[in-house]
Amino acid sequence: MREHIVTSFDEDLDRIDKLIADMGELGAEMVAGATRALLASDEPLAQRIISEDVIMDARQRELDDAAIALIAKRQPMAQDLRTVIGALRIAADLERIGDLAKNVAKRVPSAGGSVIPHPLSNSLRTMSELVLAQVRGIVALYASADADGLVNLRENDERIDVQYTSLFRELLTYMMEDPRNITACTHLIFCAKNLERIGDHVTNIAENAYYTHTGKQLPPSRPKADETAAAPA
């Protein structure tokens, strides 16, 4: 627990933590809403998700301003400085998660215009659930300063990569079987890639959070099982 002689210093740090939590919760809501809109061809929901990106951007700017003001006023060192710099990096990744969720929502009118085959729908749902669990998990682990949990969550990104590779191959199969599927499946490939990228940003957050809480860097190499570059075209 942080305890500084100047109480307002703790309040400034708590404000930054609160903004990170708010951005994390909004990011999770956007990911959940975007994938739900995609699977249900729900264009009004997709438009709502797109509009929420403005809120995410505003919260990042608020956090940036708070962090810069804290550095100028308090001149933090050691753990406090890591907390502030880490928060700036984490906020940037959370903002990108919002952008990627918005990108999925933007494709709903195109990808959702035709009925998504049931097997593809199940695969997309499975992938989105894996990604959403990562996004929600990182918010909780950052708040609880659970270093071991952050390591495990980072390694779990491999499951998303495996699911993405499987879904990518399914989509290619549908495209080769019937050229009429090409347009819709192409949009779905982009949506799946956006979900996979969200998982990558979560791992970035895990690495920054681990350093923030421990002062140690995780090894640069981590499990990576995206094999789409080798998938047959």
pLDDT tens profile 95-153: 999 999 999 999 998 875 556 777 888 999 999 999 999 999 999 999 999 999 999 99
As a three-state string, the secondary structure of the chain is CCCCCCHHHHHHHHHHHHHHHHHHHHHHHHHHHHHHHHHHCCHHHHHHHHHHHHHHHHHHHHHHHHHHHHHHHHCCCHHHHHHHHHHHHHHHHHHHHHHHHHHHHHCHHHHCCCCCCHHHHHHHHHHHHHHHHHHHHHHHHHHHCCHHHHHHHHHCHHHHHHHHHHHHHHHHHHHHHCHHHHHHHHHHHHHHHHHHHHHHHHHHHHHHHHHHHHCCCCCCCCCCCCCHHHCCC
Identify the pLDDT of residue 30: 98
CB atoms within 10 A of CB 54: 11
193 part of a folded domain: yes
Q: Which residues contact 185 (CB under 8 A, 6 or more apart)?
A: 171, 172, 174, 175
- CA 64 to chain CA centroid, Å, is 19
Q: Which residues contact 221 (CB under 8 A, 6 or more apart)?
A: none
152 part of a folded domain: yes
204 part of a folded domain: yes
- pLDDT category of residue 9 using cuts at 50, 70 and 90: confident
91 part of a folded domain: yes
Identify the pLDDT of residue 112: 59
187 part of a folded domain: yes
Count of domains observed in the chain: 1
What is the C-alpha to C-alpha distance for residues 60 and 32, in angstroms, rounded to an integer? Answer: 20
What is the C-alpha to C-alpha distance for residues 129 and 121, in angstroms, rounded to an integer? Answer: 12
Identify the pLDDT of residue 117: 76
- pLDDT category of residue 4 using cuts at 50, 70 and 90: low
pLDDT tens profile 166-198: 999 999 999 999 888 888 889 999 999 999 999
pLDDT tens profile 39-78: 999 999 999 999 999 999 999 999 999 999 999 988 888 8
More confident residue, 188 or 220: 188
1 part of a folded domain: no
Please say if the pLDDT value at position 225 is more than 70. Answer: no
179 part of a folded domain: yes
Residue 122 sits in which domain range?
A: 7-230
2 part of a folded domain: no
CATH number, domain of 200, equals 1.20.58.220
Contact present, 206 and 148 (Cβ < 8 Å): no
